[in-house]
Amino acid sequence: MNNKEYTERNIGLTFDFLRQVSRDPSIMESISDGAIIEFIDKDYSKTEYPQSVKPNRYIKVKNQFELID
């Protein structure tokens, strides 16, 4: 996946996530202010990130978004 595809995917997932949060705001209770979120596929493997941008919350993309540790 090139940078443009990755960016377009994340933009789409962000809007889908925001729609779900607007239906169920309690989702945000588990995510602290300033958290770095990474959307991952249901068959994910965590990627390596430089320490300065390492996500501290992962959100698994299924039919609905699911917060994982």
- More confident site: 68 or 27: 27
Asked whether the beta carbons of 32 and 52 are under 8 A apart, the reply is: no
- More confident site: 17 or 1: 17
Mean pLDDT of 46-52: 54
Q: State how far the Cα of 6 lies from the Cα of 40, in Å rounded to an integer.
A: 11
Q: How far apart are the first and last CA of the chain?
A: 25
Domain chopping of the chain, boundaries? 3-68
Q: Is the pTM of this model over 0.75?
A: no
Strand partners, 22: none
Going by pLDDT thresholds of 50, 70 and 90, the confidence category of residue 52 is low
Side-chain half-sphere CA neighbours of 46 within 13 A: 12
Residue 55 has pLDDT above 60, yes or no: yes
